[in-house]
Amino acid sequence: MGRLDGKTVIVTGASRGIGAEIARLFAEEGGRVACVARTLREGEHPLEGSLEHTVGTIREAGGEAIPIVADISEYEQCVRAVEEARAAYGPIDVLVNNAALTYFIPIKDFPVNKWHRSIAVNFHAPFYLSQLVLTDMLERKSGAIVNISSGAAIGPGRGPYPENIGRGGTLYGAEKAALERFTQGLASEVYHDGVSVTCVSPSLVVPTPGTVFHRLVTGMDDPRGEPPLLMAKAALLLATEPREKVAGRVTYSQEILLEFGWIGEGHGLGVDRKGSGYSQI
């Protein structure tokens, strides 16, 4: 018996990195996973990874998954993605808002079109998709929404500042801080309707094609990094534990896994250094 047997799951950003790992683990746990991303085939995006690869890996392992190509920055494509997932597998039980778009550009240089697109993917899309799947969840008085955040949501605090801090990540951090506040607000709205809403960030930087590209890690085997499986396990925990234990949690991967006994030791945000999400001052 898997923790998600018979459940319909949507995972965004499932073509590579953390999203692909979440999709694979959720399928191993019996979930029927609708994998959503823009990249269907290898070579369509500069970074390695595709929906065909993620879905193929799941199916080869005996799991159930479908690819859904969608640009979630557009509301109409979010509607279509949810409709396709529902048509394939039935009402939505779990939504993982993982997809992210990151531009490391100082505010003085930030192009307005990229600003709007970044907010559309990182903040508007989780609202669109949450509202769409709540149609199913509220009717059946059950469901889970897991939002994927980042340690970038923790601000730099007061000045004075060292010269190597705060350059280029202001928008991304603000978006993730907003997502964390959105998480707790929505969690409080739907708690008594049987729905759990949570948020988790990596305790350490996860080596992915994206974090390698942005030089946040030296490579996929950077020993300072956190294996993507830990984020997948944290998302699984939050999606499947009773809502009275987790609803409204803004947490970190190794922190929550350690708390629930899923790992024996942990490091990074939430463990070595307490994180407080968007509210740290």
Chain position carrying tokens 């951090």: 173
| DSSP 8-state symbol, 41 | S
**Residue of 36, 15, 16, 35 lying closest to 26 (CA atoms):** 35
Active site includes 15? no
- β-strand partners of 69: 37
Catalytic residue among 128, 172, 252, 278: 172
Catalytic residue among 50, 130, 176, 253: 176
Active site includes 149? yes
Q: Treating both helix axes as pointing N-terminal to C-terminal, what angle do 112-119 and 170-190 enclose, rounded to 10 degrees?
A: 30
Active site includes 130? no
Catalytic residue among 73, 149, 150, 196: 149
- For residues 231 and 200, the answer to whether their CB atoms sit within 8 Å is yes
DSSP run (H or E) holding 209: helix 209-213
Other Cβ atoms within 10 Å of 135 Cβ, number: 12
* DSSP code per residue over 211-229: HHHTTSSSSTT-TTS--HH
Active site members:
149, 172, 176
